[in-house]
Each structure stands twice: as C-alpha cells, then as structure tokens.
Amino acid sequence: MRPILHVDIVNILDLSFWDGKPAETINEAIAIQTRVDADYLKGDSINWGITDATNTIVGTCGYCRGFKGGRGEIGFVLKETYRGKGIMRQAIASVIQFGIETIQLGYIFSITDANNRSAIRLFEKINALKVKEEKSLVEYQLYKHADLQRL
C-alpha cells in the first residue's frame, strides 16, 4: 500500500467515491482526491492505494470521517478483476493494525450497502460482528478494545 498521488487519478477513476457517490469524470475524481488529501491534513482521515506488482493502484482502503471518540470507520474499494484473491482481506488487516497500534483507536467499524455481497463476504471471513442494519445499510464492528465502555 502507498499514498495516492494526483498522477494516479487517471487510473483510478472507477475507484473514486465520495459519500458513496462515484466520480463520473477525471475532474470529479481530482476533486475527490483533493478533499481526501485535505481531510488527511486536518487529521480526519488516512487513505492508501493498494498496488499490484507494477505499483499500479488497484484499490483503496483507509479511514474516513474522522476519529471522534476513538472510533475509526474503514472504507475500501477494489477493482473488480482483483476481487476474490485475498487482497482486500490483507489490506484491511493492515489498516486495522495501524488503527489499533498507531492511531490507538478503541473501536473500528465499516458501513456498507446491504446488497454489497463482496464486502459482506469479506466481513464474514474476518469474523466481523454485524452491529446494525438500517434500511439498505449494514454496519460491522471490526475491532473493539475490551476495556471500552458501552458505545
């Protein structure tokens, strides 16, 4: 995994999302990456590009929406041709470890569309706990520090 650079944008248009809405143009993808970079500088997020053997970004994974109360929300996306190969499982494990050891988060979660079978299968494989299901969204608990008070 590595930082996402603006020169990567042309190759990751299909991976560029903001609040669940995909970028439709390169300019929209650049605007999204600019917001992601600004959030990182404010300390509200950290996001990495997942690379293949040629150092080309094939997915993204990281924390979004701030770290209020020691909580971190993981968001991720992977190009379709790379799915089902364990790549995202490895990336999420690294991001969770970073959140626990470096950021010292007490609670890590992820929210996905209830119809996102790929994400739900991944959560099941890593033994994530489904903690909330509302309308079309599902929230999974990926990590909870044992000493944490009731959330």
What pLDDT does 148 receive?
52
pLDDT tens for each residue of 77-88: 999 999 999 999
**Where in the chain are the domains?**
6-144
What pLDDT does 6 receive?
87
Distance from C-alpha of 9 to C-alpha of 79, rounded to nearest angstrom: 14
3-state secondary structure of 106: coil
What pLDDT does 54 receive?
94
* Percent of residues, the chain, with pLDDT higher than 70: 96
CATH code of 6-144, in short, is 3.40.630.30
Average pLDDT of the chain, as a whole number: 92
Please report which helix (H) or strand (E) contains residue 111, including its range. strand 107-113
CB 149 within 8 A of CB 111: no
Strands 129-134 and 107-113: unpaired
Q: How confident is the model over 37-49, as a mean pLDDT?
A: 95
pLDDT at residue 21 tops 90: no
What pLDDT does 110 receive?
96
Residues facing residue 138 across a β-bridge: 112, 133
pLDDT tens for each residue of 94-151: 999 999 999 999 999 999 999 999 999 999 999 999 999 998 999 999 999 866 543 3
- The pair of structure tokens assigned to 3 is 């930082």
Q: How confident is the model over 65-79, as a mean pLDDT?
A: 94
- Packing angle between helix 117-125 and helix 87-101, nearest 10 degrees? 60
